[in-house]
């Protein structure tokens, strides 16, 4: 059955982005340190068109996180471009160029209506102004039997989590401190909305915690 999933990298002190996030530096100061564990992996390099790399305990976790995704939901900030209404003549078309790596329907949460955008390789962007439940309903329909990925940012993942709409989350816990920035769980309260830890995979530079409904 179709599940709603997200994965996110988080520091030991709970931050998923450093301070000073901006269009130029979407991860914030120091935020790149949350992702360094992935860069040497062959599976990560291959996703980005690079050869070589290594395999370790994280490899199957990353492979699983990429598999069986039929649709993606993301926030407007992750889609990118300047805030506010879309430019009528030359609207921002995302970070990913003519052939984005999704290859399936993507639903972008925004306050500003815009017609759908179809790009190469099977990626379509649909702009949803009716909120998180409407976006998820459209994404579930598009995904069919496959899963829906919440691509982020963290605020979007947290909104779905708090609404009890997440079936699986993978926390990639990185053993470092960021000290400030954006916390995944700020305002999420003291329960995990039915999710519980179902698997722990420890690698040298990251520990993967999978939460799911039993």
**Contact status: 36 vs a second copy (CB under 8 A):** no
Place of tokens 């309260």: 189
Q: How far apart are CA 207 and CA 128, in angstroms?
A: 34
Least distance CB 165 / a second copy (angstroms)? 17
191 near a second copy, rule: CB under 8 A: yes
Q: Left if phi > 0, otherwise alpha if psi is -120 to 50, otherwise beta: which for 158? A: alpha
Q: Is 211 in the site for a second copy (CB under 8 A)?
A: yes
B/e letters for 98-110, b = 16+ CB within 10 Å, e = fewer, are eebebebbbbbbb
* Among the listed residues 67, 72, 66, 80, the one whose alpha carbon sits nearest the alpha carbon of residue 126: 72
CB of 113 to a second copy, least distance (A): 36
Scan residues 150-179 and list those touching a second copy (CB under 8 A).
171, 173, 175-179
Contact between residue 195 and residue 211 where contact means Cβ atoms under 8 Å apart: yes
Residue 212, interface with a second copy (CB under 8 A)? no
Among 30, 75, 94, 153, which residue interacts with a second copy (rule: CB under 8 A)?
30
Residues that bind a second copy in the complex, under the rule CB under 8 A? 12-14, 18, 30, 171, 173, 175-180, 183-185, 188-192, 196-197, 200-202, 204-205, 207, 209, 211
């Amino acid at each position: 059955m179709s599940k709603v999933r997200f994965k996110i990298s988080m520091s030991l002190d709970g931050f998923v982005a450093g301070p000073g996030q901006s269009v130029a530096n979407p991860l914030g100061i120091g935020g790149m340190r949350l992702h360094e564990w992935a860069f040497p992996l062959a599976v990560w390099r291959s996703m980005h068109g690079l050869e070589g790399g290594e395999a370790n305990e994280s490899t199957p976790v990353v492979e699983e996180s990429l598999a069986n995704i039929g649709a993606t939901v993301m926030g407007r900030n992750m889609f990118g471009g300047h805030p506010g209404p879309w430019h009528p003549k030359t609207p921002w078309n995302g970070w990913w160029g003519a052939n984005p790596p999704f290859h399936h329907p993507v639903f972008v949460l925004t306050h500003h209506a815009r017609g759908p955008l179809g790009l190469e390789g099977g990626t379509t962007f649909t702009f949803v102004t009716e909120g998180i439940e409407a976006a998820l309903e459209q994404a579930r329909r598009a995904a069919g039997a496959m899963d829906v990925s919440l691509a982020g940012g963290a605020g979007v993942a947290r909104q779905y989590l708090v609404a009890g709409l997440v079936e699986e989350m993978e926390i990639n816990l990185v053993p470092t401190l960021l000290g400030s920035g954006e916390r995944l769980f700020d305002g999420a309260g003291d329960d995990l909305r039915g999710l519980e830890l179902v698997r722990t995979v420890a690698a040298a530079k990251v520990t993967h915690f999978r939460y799911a409904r039993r």
